[in-house]
């Protein structure tokens, strides 16, 4: 089998890989650069949202 050096290497990978992933993707600058531009694609602009929802049939037909 591998031996102690392989076990130390595997332990290092198991411990440091998640830490490095959190460090890279948890950076606020990375988030602003790569995630925030998709906000407009995922969520509609504020002008398209209704300020208050219609509550009766006549209001729904008027809105449509």
Per-residue tokens: 30: 């990375």
Tokens 């219609």 — which residue? 54
pTM of the model: 0.51
- Provide the residue-wise pLDDT of the chain in tens; the chain has 64 residues: 679 999 999 999 999 999 999 999 999 999 999 888 888 788 877 766 667 777 888 888 887 7
pLDDT given for residue 49 in this prediction: 64
Residues 6+ away with beta carbon under 8 Å from 24: 30
Per-residue tokens: 9: 């290497």
Domain residue extents for the chain: 4-63
pLDDT given for residue 61 in this prediction: 87
């Amino acid at each position: 089998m591998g031996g102690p050096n392989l076990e130390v290497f595997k332990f290092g990978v198991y411990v440091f890989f998640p830490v490095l992933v959190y460090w890279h993707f948890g950076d606020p600058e990375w988030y602003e650069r790569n995630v925030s531009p998709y906000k407009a694609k995922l969520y509609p602009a504020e002008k398209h949202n209704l300020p208050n929802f219609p509550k009766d049939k006549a209001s729904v037909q008027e809105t449509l």
